[in-house]
């Protein structure tokens, strides 16, 4: 018997190992947070703002009634001449009188130069936020493609405070990610940043240089 055949025979004769049990993630999460009080809405908002500021992102508290007007004021203050947007917010932006609106309504190859070289900012929806890390959850789709949050130098993101979660596991559980996810799910913490070998941090090298979160809150939560 050749050495190869001998090895294969021994492998086949070896007892079959018991497959490992899948990890009990909910139990692990519960054990890690044992004894901790459940997070409150006020605490989640405060922690999210603190962590987003740490990542050099900006949070502006707005209401469902005034966010388009606040966005218009921010665009003027930042010198935004063109704002890329998807269909979900088209009517609100038009009513607010924001200038330079650019609907994302064409294949990227039809206007690549304009999109990459002559678009100052974009507005996207978000699926939620994670207070523990100051992170936005984005699920791009046909109405708001991935490039909207990647290409323009300024990214405005609309986040409902009702969709703020204590941590990633809570977001995954409450939104039932196990039932299905898109091919491109994004977790965004602050603007784009990178560092060279000398640890010199640069913003905007691979994406937006600024991230401004429009946080939808109740009137009494405005500050």
Instruction: Express each pLDDT in 128-178 by its tens digit.
Output: 999 999 999 999 999 999 999 999 999 999 999 999 999 999 999 999 998
* 197 part of a folded domain: yes
Assign 206 a pLDDT band (cuts: 50, 70, 90). confident
* 9 part of a folded domain: no
Predicted confidence at residue 32, as pLDDT, reads 81
Report the first-to-last Cα separation within the chain, whole angstroms.
Answer: 81
What rounded mean pLDDT belongs to the chain? 91
User: For residues 35 and 90, what is the distance between their CA atoms, to the nearest angstrom?
Assistant: 46
Average pLDDT over residues 187-195: 90
Look at residue 161 and give its three-state secondary structure.
helix
Predicted confidence at residue 88, as pLDDT, reads 93
Per-residue pLDDT for 5 more than 80? yes
- Torsion angle (degrees, nearest 10) of CA 141, 62, 70, 146: -20
Average pLDDT over residues 22-39: 79
User: For residues 80 and 120, what is the distance between their CA atoms, to the nearest angstrom?
Assistant: 6
Predicted confidence at residue 60, as pLDDT, reads 97
Which pairing describes strands 186-188 and 164-165: parallel, antiparallel, or unpaired? unpaired
* 193 part of a folded domain: yes
* 6 part of a folded domain: no
List Cβ neighbours of 42 (8 Å cut-off, separation of 6 or more).
221
Look at residue 122 and give its three-state secondary structure.
strand
Residue 153: CB atoms within 10 A of its CB come to 18
User: For residues 210 and 157, what is the distance between their CA atoms, to the nearest angstrom?
Assistant: 11
* 212 part of a folded domain: yes
User: For residues 76 and 98, what is the distance between their CA atoms, to the nearest angstrom?
Assistant: 9
With beta carbons less than 8 A apart as the criterion, state whether 58 and 211 touch: yes
Higher pLDDT, 193 or 212: 212
Query: How would DSSP label each residue in 187-217?
Result: EE-SS-EEE-TT--EEESSSS-SEEEEEEE-
CA atoms within 13 Å, Cβ hemisphere of 132: 11
Per-residue pLDDT for 9 more than 90? no
- Torsion angle (degrees, nearest 10) of CA 65, 67, 69, 70: 140
Predicted confidence at residue 47, as pLDDT, reads 95
* 15 part of a folded domain: no
Count of domains forming the chain: 1
Per-residue pLDDT for 33 more than 90? no
DSSP H/E element including 25? helix 25-32
| Geometric angle at alpha carbon 123, from 94 and 73, rounded to 5° | 60
* 30 part of a folded domain: no
CATH code at position 71: 3.40.50.10420
Which residues constitute the domain of residue 161?
39-221
Higher pLDDT, 21 or 66: 66
Average pLDDT over residues 192-210: 83
Predicted confidence at residue 27, as pLDDT, reads 86
Whole-model pTM: value is: 0.86
* 66 part of a folded domain: yes
pLDDT digits (tens, 9 = 90+) for 72-129: 999 999 999 999 999 999 999 999 999 999 999 999 999 999 999 999 999 999 999 9
DSSP H/E element including 154? strand 154-160
Per-residue pLDDT for 36 more than 80? no
Average pLDDT over residues 9-30: 83
Predicted confidence at residue 39, as pLDDT, reads 79
């Amino acid at each position: 018997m050749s050495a190869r055949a001998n090895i294969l025979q021994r492998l086949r004769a070896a007892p079959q190992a018991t497959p490992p049990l899948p990890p009990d993630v909910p139990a692990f999460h519960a054990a890690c947070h044992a004894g901790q009080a459940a997070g409150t809405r006020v605490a989640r908002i405060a922690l999210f703002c603190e962590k987003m500021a740490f990542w050099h992102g900006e949070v502006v508290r707005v209401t469902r009634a005034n966010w388009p007007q606040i966005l218009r004021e921010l665009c003027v203050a930042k010198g935004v001449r063109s704002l890329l947007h998807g269909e979900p917010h088209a009517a609100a932006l038009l009513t607010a009188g924001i200038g330079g609106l650019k609907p994302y309504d064409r294949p990227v190859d039809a206007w690549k130069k304009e999109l990459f070289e002559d678009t100052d900012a974009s507005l996207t929806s978000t699926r939620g936020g994670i207070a523990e890390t100051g992170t936005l959850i984005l699920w791009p789709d046909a109405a708001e493609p991935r490039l909207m949050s990647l290409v323009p130098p300024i990214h405005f993101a609309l986040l409902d405070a009702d969709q703020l979660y204590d941590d990633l596991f809570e977001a995954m559980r409450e939104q039932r990610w196990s039932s299905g996810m898109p091919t491109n799910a994004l977790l965004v913490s602050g603007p784009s940043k990178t560092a060279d070998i000398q640890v010199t941090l640069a913003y905007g090298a691979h994406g937006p240089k600024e991230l401004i979160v429009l946080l939808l809150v109740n009137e009494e939560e405005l500050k």
